[in-house]
A and B are shown apart, each in its own frame.
Chain A
Amino acid sequence: MKQILPVIVSAVVGFLLLIDFFLDIPALKGPATEVQDWGVILAAFALALAAINLVGFHIRQISRKSVDSIHSLILLAGLFATALSGIFMGTDSVVFDFIFRSIYTSLAAVFYAMTAFHLASASYRAFRLKNPLSAALIVSGVLLMLGKAPIGEHIWSGFPVISDWITGVVNVAGSRGILISTAIGSVGMALRVLTGIDRSYLGAGSE
């Protein structure tokens, strides 16, 4: 029963949404809308569950006095300071605003910006003309970088033309292939899940 009930629920919900998407049946509109709204509510609960799980994990880390305890402590302090200031003082309060703008926003921006430095370092260490495939990768990468930056067209007016061709023809052909094959794969996967053949999402292996 532990296995069968979730499969039945998944199948009913999945087929309901599928039929509602492809066919215009007024009787299904109401239930399909309800189910989609449940999805949003479940996602909100999943966020709360994730927060509880996160707190539990880091409390255990601290109680074990592991070497990373200090990191767990900082995480919990940040989590509670942000959540409590937002809940009790409001999201437009000075404290919440300070945490959000002066700490969170800056750290998030730095985190993304650091990838540029890694990219610069990786371009120097990893891009090697070892074989024809790596040569194709490097040449197309260089042409795109020069074609997409304003300085490229000042060096040679052909760079934007070539980079547009790579993006609009070569890339579109490849992306279309990936999109279509992923879509077909998703349909197959969805049918396996909805018909109960694949139950790996329940923690069991496929049968």
Chain B
Amino acid sequence: MDFFEKLGKIDTRIIYVLFILAILIPLVSPLGLPVTVSQHTKQTYEVVNSLQPGDTVIIDIGISYSGAGDVLPQAIAVFKHLMSKDVKVIFTGVQMDSSKIIEDLIKPYEEAGKEYGVDFCNLGYLAGGENAIAAYARDLKKAYPLDFRRNSTDTLPILETVNSAKDVNMFIFFSVQNADMYVRQITEYQVPLVGGLIATIAPQAEPYLHAGQLKGMLVGLRGAAEYESMMGSPGIGLASMDAQSIAHLLIVFFIVIANISYLGTQNKTRSRKEASQ
């Protein structure tokens, strides 16, 4: 086996070990690479920042724990921003994990003195996917007679003046699926729509951003890191950026050496054929 063939037959276990190290080492010992903020994140930050104290937003948590690594840091950063601006947040959810994720999001703020039912509430998971979004956007209290903590939604002060998506100042969603269902169901209420998506799905939602149907969009873990950077409040997003950088670089390295091996082997095979002829 010559050099090119060896290069193309690296054991998968070696690839996995290198990949683990590429992620672990920067997490333990960060390189501190600065993160430039993209236009998408700047736009999203400015839209969210335009909210005034006392405004109310709906945040739909369409996050499952399997995809949380990419989107949950976005939700943490945006919610932190909203709380710092004293914006009221109504949490809804269309993934089964939503209710628990929302409880984890609000817990630190509740402990810090924010009041459940006044500053935020957790309406929990509603089955039905797009149907659920359509139902609660049209009539919030009918779709959610009780919140996740079994309070009647008629008794929550935060919902006193909110009956549908038309009554809030912004609709924000974080999703491991796509933006299509939110765009289809929420745009009719003429409320600014902002989204946070996993990096692999976000390119599919770009046309909505260009068309103005989405007023802002955060893309993956990088979007969270950029948002944290704009807020001047480092969190899990920024902490993970070095690991992502090295992991990307390692994948590029694998692609390059695999193709050096492929082209080298092809050349050799061609030379052998020519020699035999």
Q: How many Å lie between the Cα of A78 and that of B233 in the bound state?
A: 39
Q: Mark B236-249, 1 if CB is under 8 A from A, else 0.
A: 00000110111111
Q: How many Å lie between the Cα of A176 and that of B203 in the bound state?
A: 11
Interface residues of B, count at CB 8 A: 60
A33 with B241: in contact, given A124-B10, A128-B262, A148-B222 (CB under 8 Å)? no
Q: Interface-forming stretch among A3-11, A63-71, A109-117?
A: A109-117
Which of chain A's residues has its CB closest to B96's CB?
A: A47
Residue among A100, A121, A138, A145 making CB contact with B248, cutoff 8 Å: A145
Is B68 within 8 A of A109, CB to CB? yes
Which chain B residues (55-89) contact chain A, with CB distance < 8 Å? 64-69
Which chain A residues (184-206) contact chain B, with CB distance < 8 Å? none
Residues of B within 8 A of A93 (CB): none
The winner among B65, B249, B262, B263 for most chain A CB atoms within 10 A is B65
Is A112 within 8 A of B252, CB to CB? no
Is A175 within 8 A of B259, CB to CB? no
Indicate if B156 sits at the interface (CB-CB under 8 A): no
Indicate if B138 sits at the interface (CB-CB under 8 A): yes
Smallest distance from the beta carbon of A144 to chain B beta carbons, Å? 9
Chain B residues at the A interface, C-beta cutoff of 8 Å: 10, 12, 15-16, 19, 23, 33-36, 38-39, 64-69, 97, 99-100, 126-129, 131-132, 134-135, 138-139, 142-143, 188, 199, 203-204, 206-207, 210, 220, 222, 241-242, 244-252, 254-255, 257-259, 262-263
A123-B255, A149-B244, A168-B210 provided; 20 other pairs, C-beta below 8 A? A21-B188, A33-B135, A36-B131, A36-B135, A37-B143, A40-B126, A108-B65, A111-B66, A117-B16, A120-B247, A121-B15, A121-B16, A127-B255, A129-B262, A149-B245, A151-B248, A151-B249, A175-B204, A175-B206, A178-B204
- Report 8 cross-chain contacts, Cβ distance below 8 Å, ordered by A residue: A40-B135, A109-B66, A117-B15, A120-B254, A146-B249, A150-B242, A171-B206, A175-B203
